[in-house]
Structure 1
Amino acid sequence: MTEEEPRLSARELIERLEPELSPRRRVRALAALVAGLAGTVFVTALWGGEPGPLPVRTHLSFGVFTVFCLAWAGYGGWLLTRRVPLFATDRVIAAWIALVASAVTTGLVAVVTVQRGTGVGPALAVGGLFVAAALALTVRAHHRRAALLRRKRELMGGEEE
């Protein structure tokens, strides 16, 4: 090599890793935002359109599903506004939303099946699959984030953060 290439500091290298969302992540963020907003509109329209007084558990269910939809919309909006490397924080947040949503939904469905006397086994089996998948994604996201942060620390070496 005849010319010496300019050397980047660890900080400059890290800042260049992913200064903005990739097109794929931008589409995922937009999908989460749109799906969350659409779900919120749909659930609240159903909730508001129900005739007569509703049982408390129905109000609770509609409220919980509205919160889940708003969480996904908030996540999508948050992700679209990020202009810095996230080091897989987005994956951790999405995994936790999925885990909480699947666990709470499984619990609500189990309560309803017990109250109706229709058998809680199938509800717990299906819900358990969703919870297990969400839990696996959560563990995977945490491991990925830890690996990226470990690599960042290695690159930063003795530099200040």
Structure 2
Amino acid sequence: MTEEGPRLSARDMIERLEPSLSPWRRVRAVAALLAGLAGVVFVTALWWSEPGPLPGRTHLAFALLTVFCLAWAGYGTWLLTRRVPLFATDRVIAGWIALSVSLVTTAGLAGIAVQRDAGLGTALGVGGGFVAAALVLVVRAHARRAELLRRRRELTGGEQA
């Protein structure tokens, strides 16, 4: 004990920097898992209940939507199973999923707009807004992760905790 209070070990300080899974992160993980699973169920039910043969690009769209939903469900599952400090890795992964989905969706919407010869500006504007927002999230997540890792190195003297 010191005058300032009890001394914390480097490991305790690191755990305070980035707890393994706070209650708020657990709620986010469950929400991502449930939303992803609900999306998979909804999209595949819609896909397989469509009457008659569907065009190839419609199958592709349904497949991509299913993959997007599976990515979020996988992210939620992964996050719930972590028992160690993540140092904002969860934010980086979520940001990259969001950026990937935004880019693919924007490209698909732009392709449809070009094919139909209408609304390309709108598709690029709306999609560009989502891509920009996702890009901001990725940059912020990488910055937060770098900050936490730098702080961990300072606390441990450069060795891994």
> What is the TM-score when the length of structure 1 is the normalising length?
0.91
Contact 1:68–1:101 at 8 Å: present in 2 too?
yes
Q: Give, in angstroms, the shift of residue 109 of structure 1.
A: 0.8
**Alpha-carbon distance change, 75 to 106 in structure 1, aligned in 2, over 3 angstroms:** same
Partner of 2:55: 55
User: Where does structure 1 differ by over 4 angstroms across 4 or more consecutive aligned residues?
Assistant: 1-6, 16-19, 158-161
Does 2:85 correspond to 1:85? Answer: yes
**Alpha-carbon distance change, 54 to 132 in structure 1, aligned in 2, over 3 angstroms:** same
Q: Give, in angstroms, the shift of residue 4 of structure 1.
A: 9.7
Partner of 2:67: 67
Percent identity, aligned pairs only, is 75
CA displacement, residues 115-156 of structure 1 (integer Å, 9 cap, x when unaligned):
122231101110000000000110010001001101111111
**Alpha-carbon distance change, 57 to 153 in structure 1, aligned in 2, over 3 angstroms:** same
User: Could you tell me which amino acid in structure 2 is paired with residue 77 of structure 1?
Assistant: T
> What is the TM-score when the length of structure 2 is the normalising length?
0.91
For residues 3 and 149 of structure 1, the distance between their equivalents in structure 2, rounded to whole angstroms, comes to 29
CA displacement, residues 44-75 of structure 1 (integer Å, 9 cap, x when unaligned):
11110111111111111111110000000000
User: Could you tell me which amino acid in structure 2 is paired with residue 71 of structure 1?
Assistant: A
Gaps of at least 5 residues in structure 1 are none
Pairing of 1:115-134 with structure 2 (within 5 A): 115-134=115-134
For residues 58 and 158 of structure 1, the distance between their equivalents in structure 2, rounded to whole angstroms, comes to 52
Contact 2:88–2:145 at 8 Å: present in 1 too?
yes
**Alpha-carbon distance change, 60 to 5 in structure 1, aligned in 2, over 3 angstroms:** same
For residues 83 and 2 of structure 2, the distance between their equivalents in structure 1, rounded to whole angstroms, comes to 36
**Alpha-carbon distance change, 30 to 114 in structure 1, aligned in 2, over 3 angstroms:** same
Q: Give, in angstroms, the shift of residue 11 of structure 1.
A: 2.9
**Alpha-carbon distance change, 83 to 55 in structure 1, aligned in 2, over 3 angstroms:** same
Aligned length: 161
For residues 82 and 38 of structure 1, the distance between their equivalents in structure 2, rounded to whole angstroms, comes to 22
Helix, strand or coil: the match of 2:67?
helix
**Alpha-carbon distance change, 57 to 159 in structure 1, aligned in 2, over 3 angstroms:** closer
